[in-house]
């Protein structure tokens, strides 16, 4: 029987080294004495699950190795790796032919003068970040007052929407007082200084629970500050709450119920950044932070009428956040307009030494775009078949009337991107929550139907490593095939909830922004549209383009009536 040994070269033996040596010796022993659990008959049965067929002679020769592998798996399971252990094989969306500007230019934000408090204080809930920043800088309101105002709104409506997991009042008031002290000295760190916000409850903040929205982690406290939280703290923003999320970042159902759509309480807010979208659209806070693996910023923004920016993969370091799919997870702002999203992204984007997939790239936002020279396309295979009065077709007409030349293209739709992405997502998330599955605590989760995580994690244990790596390599081919088409355009217009465009750009890492695209019908949210950035790291262009569209239409200024009183 083959022995497996671990060689570690260090100056001095460490506790970890001694542990590894112990496990190595233990493994060699168990491989020698353990009875064979895998037989030829079991191989024959299992082959059918993997689309394989071997001869009897080949099966016989496999038995010893498969039994040895079984012992390795049992050895690995002994580590019970926690969710925060990173994957050293990180994903890079940059192809060899891509070239980028790497110089960050100063951003000159326009903070309007002469902003007054509204006669109806409730209207303050829907002021833009720039308007709130003006009030704070001109000492018309303090950050402490503004913070208490939004905390009170969250307490008033949070249970109605099921959008708050926990309040962070002590942190908020300390940060608000600090912001007021800077205002008193005439120090302005960013437009976010003194502005309250909420975090999706998968980001660690010292002294708070980080529940992942699910019972098995309901009392989890991680004594770490997530990168995105630290970035916002540097900008002077004020954390007032940890917001609801679909458990383990799927859908809108968590241990507190279903997060509701502020336009229609009979509907959910969709997508796992559910609380971030719902609370922001209802004016319970000025902005929130969400995450996306496959639609979790786009979908709730579309369904709730928010403006959600899903950045290029790696644009915001994920350190201190829950790992789900290591090669797809990304962080972005959910706001009520594009300029607000740009302000937030300017503060949170960047890399750190712990998230090796993160990269600091320029965000040279000006807020301006030349509509006559920008290259815009729309996915005709997804839009031309829609009714003539569809919001998507109205968006194209609005842009054409404003002087934009919009080119019809066939968006790639036959690359099986949905299947590739879901396979990667399943395998990586099952690894991220391996101890949860093997402990049996997955039975405590709320969502137990077949298409949800407990069953997805269990089923993913049978995805072979060979097939997972093959899918990752096919992903690279998809990136190569998509790049020549996508990169011809600055903006590509697609229906927000179209699966293949969403899946493809999750695989390639391209950014997008989702925003309201029409008037809200009675009892429902406004329709939405998504602008994909044809090039990586084009957040400044897509945000400016979305801002221009919003200046033309003002659809983002609609608010759900229930929360304006």
- What residues are labeled active site? 200, 272, 296
Look at the block and give the residue holding tokens 């497996």: 4
Largest CA distance in the chain: 85
d(CA 14, CA 26): 18
Report which of 362, 405, 374 is spatially closest to residue 538, judged by C-alpha positions: 362
Q: Length of the chain in residues, anyone?
A: 565
For the CA atoms of 355, 540, 128, 249, what is the dihedral angle to 10 degrees?
-40
d(CA 203, CA 270): 20
Residue 405 Rama label (left phi>0; alpha psi -120 to 50; beta): beta
Look at the block and give the residue holding tokens 């060689």: 7
d(CA 434, CA 445): 15
d(CA 168, CA 157): 16
3-state secondary structure of 462: coil
Strand partners, 167: 241
Read off the tokens for 150: 């939004």
d(CA 227, CA 205): 10
- Give every CB contact of residue 228 below 8 A, 6+ residues apart in sequence: 199, 203, 289, 316, 317, 320, 321, 331, 348
For residue 376, give Cα distances in angstroms to 365, 381, 543.
Answer: 18, 16, 14
- Give every CB contact of residue 536 below 8 A, 6+ residues apart in sequence: 93, 94, 98, 100, 312, 509, 510, 511
SS3 content of the chain, % helix, strand, coil (to 5): 45, 10, 45
């Amino acid at each position: 029987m083959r022995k497996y040994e671990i060689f570690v070269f260090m100056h001095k033996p460490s506790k970890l080294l001694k542990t590894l040596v112990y496990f190595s010796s233990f493994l060699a022993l168990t491989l020698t004495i353990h009875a064979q659990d895998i037989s030829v008959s079991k191989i024959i049965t299992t082959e059918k699950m993997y689309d394989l067929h071997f001869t009897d002679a080949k099966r016989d020769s496999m038995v010893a190795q498969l039994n040895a592998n079984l012992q390795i798996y049992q050895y690995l399971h002994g580590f019970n790796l926690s969710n925060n252990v990173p994957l050293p094989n990180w994903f890079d969306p940059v192809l060899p032919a891509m070239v980028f500007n790497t110089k960050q230019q100063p951003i000159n934000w326009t903070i309007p003068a002469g902003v007054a408090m509204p006669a109806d204080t409730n209207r303050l809930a829907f002021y833009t970040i720039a308007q709130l920043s003006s009030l704070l800088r001109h000492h018309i309101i303090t950050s402490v007052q503004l913070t208490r105002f939004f905390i009170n709104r969250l307490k008033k409506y949070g249970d109605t929407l099921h959008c708050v997991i926990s309040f962070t009042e002590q942190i908020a008031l300390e940060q608000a007082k600090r912001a007021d002290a800077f205002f008193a000295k005439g120090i302005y760190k960013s437009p976010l200084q003194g502005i309250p916000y909420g975090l999706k409850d998968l980001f660690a903040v010292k002294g708070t629970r980080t529940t992942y929205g699910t019972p098995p982690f309901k009392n989890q406290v991680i004594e770490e500050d997530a990168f995105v939280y630290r970035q916002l703290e540097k900008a002077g923003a004020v954390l007032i709450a940890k917001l609801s999320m679909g458990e383990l970042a799927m859908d809108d159902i968590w241990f507190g119920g279903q997060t509701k759509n502020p336009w229609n309480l009979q509907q959910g807010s969709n997508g796992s950044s559910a609380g971030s979208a719902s609370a922001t659209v209802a004016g319970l806070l000025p902005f929130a932070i969400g995450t996306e693996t496959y639609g979790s910023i786009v979908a709730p923004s579309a369904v709730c009428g928010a403006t959600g920016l899903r950045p290029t993969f790696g644009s915001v370091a994920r350190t201190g956040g829950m790992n789900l799919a290591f090669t797809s997870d990304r962080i972005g702002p959910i706001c009520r307009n594009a300029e607000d999203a740009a302000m937030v992204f300017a503060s949170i984007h960047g890399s750190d030494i712990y998230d090796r997939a993160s990269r600091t790239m320029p965000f040279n936002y000006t807020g301006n775009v030349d509509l006559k020279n920008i290259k815009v396309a729309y996915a005709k295979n997804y839009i031309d078949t829609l009714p003539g009065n569809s919001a998507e077709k109205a968006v194209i007409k609005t842009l054409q009337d404003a002087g934009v030349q919009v080119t019809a293209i066939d968006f790639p739709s036959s690359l099986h991107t949905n299947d590739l992405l879901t396979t990667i997502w399943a395998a990586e998330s099952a690894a991220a929550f391996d101890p949860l599955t093997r402990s049996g605590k997955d039975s405590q989760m709320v969502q137990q139907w077949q298409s949800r995580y407990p069953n997805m994690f269990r089923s993913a244990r049978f995805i072979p490593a060979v097939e997972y790596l093959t899918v990752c390599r096919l992903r690279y081919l998809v990136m190569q095939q998509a790049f020549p088409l996508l990169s011809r355009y600055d903006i590509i217009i697609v229906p927000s909830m179209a699966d293949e465009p969403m899946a493809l750009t999750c695989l390639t890492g391209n950014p997008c922004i989702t925003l309201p695209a029409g008037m809200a019908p009675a009892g429902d949210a406004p329709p939405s549209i998504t602008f994909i950035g044809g090039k990586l790291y084009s957040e400044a262009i897509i945000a400016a383009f979305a801002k221009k569209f919003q200046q033309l239409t003002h659809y983002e200024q609609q608010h759900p009536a229930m929360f304006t009183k």
